[in-house]
Amino acid sequence: MDAEGLGWLWVPLHQLVSWGAAGAMVFGGVVPYIPQYRDIRRTQNAEGFSTYVCLVLLLANILRILFWFGRRFEAPLLWQSVVMILAMLLMLKLCTEVRAASELNVKRRVFADFNPQHFWHWNSFGDYVQCVLAFTGVAGCVTYLSIDSALFVESLGFLAVLTEAMLGMPQLCRNHRHQSTEGMSIKMVLMWTSGDTFKTAYFLLNGAPLQFSVCGLLQVLVDLAILGQAYVFTRRPLKPAPHAAHPASAKAL
């Protein structure tokens, strides 16, 4: 009798939990970038953040959306890609504005020049938008022409997952090149690590396709490598700089 009496509560409760999980899936991916975004706005210094992270996420999520047209998956994952693309465009806009303000008398670099040496180092946010639209248009046309090929669709999905798995590599390479993690938000990387660990555990426990689990493990290893860089570089004695440091430069914690 009690179970029957509580039956009316179970359905809306289950629906509420489902909505909460879907909301977390849609918006949870952008949460790690909020601390980095706030740090850049506060310090007016974007040197510690690699904009190639934005490039990787833009490519991965555009490919995932195109994959949806060939093989439909859950709506929250689709909307997650849309929200992530908008978030990465906002990050790019902020980084471009901050760097433009600090780069005086620098030769203008534009996407329309098609100079590979200037790729993803343009002066205007509009050039980044043009590049993203061009990639979307070309990839969309190829997908439209090949949508009936199961091999193409599966390869497209694998490419999207693999691209996302390389998310941390630009930041890892940037840190290694500069031998410093100054300006990088440790909170962002910690959120990457916790999110990727949870996602990988979910893949393994639920028997997801092998490529999902492998790519998830790769993401976790890259996240841990970045955290290792932060630990090693912060323990090194500071070397005297040959010139005055940027007044806004501060380590993002």
- C-alpha to C-alpha distance for 223 and 169, rounded to whole angstroms: 9
pLDDT at 237: 60
Q: Which one-letter DSSP state was computed for residue 124?
A: S
Please tell me the pTM assigned to this model: 0.75
Say if CB 39 and CB 185 are below 8 A apart: yes
Both tokens of 201, joined, read 């555990």
In this predicted structure, what is the pLDDT of residue 147?
A: 93
Q: Which residue has the tokens 């492998």?
A: 214
pLDDT of residue 129: 95
The pLDDT value given to residue 248 = 36
Query: pLDDT tens digits for the chain (253 residues)?
Result: 455 556 666 777 767 776 776 677 778 778 888 888 998 999 888 887 888 889 989 999 999 899 889 888 777 778 888 999 999 999 999 999 998 887 766 778 888 888 888 899 898 999 999 999 999 999 999 999 999 998 998 888 889 888 888 878 888 888 888 888 887 888 888 888 887 887 777 667 766 666 667 778 888 999 899 999 888 888 776 554 444 344 333 333 2
pLDDT on residue 92 = 95
* pLDDT value for 251: 32
C-alpha 82 chain-centroid distance: 12
Residue with tokens 């098609």: 114
Closest by CA position to 154, among listed 58, 214, 72, 67:
67
Q: What is the pLDDT of residue 175?
A: 86
How high is the pLDDT of residue 28?
Answer: 76
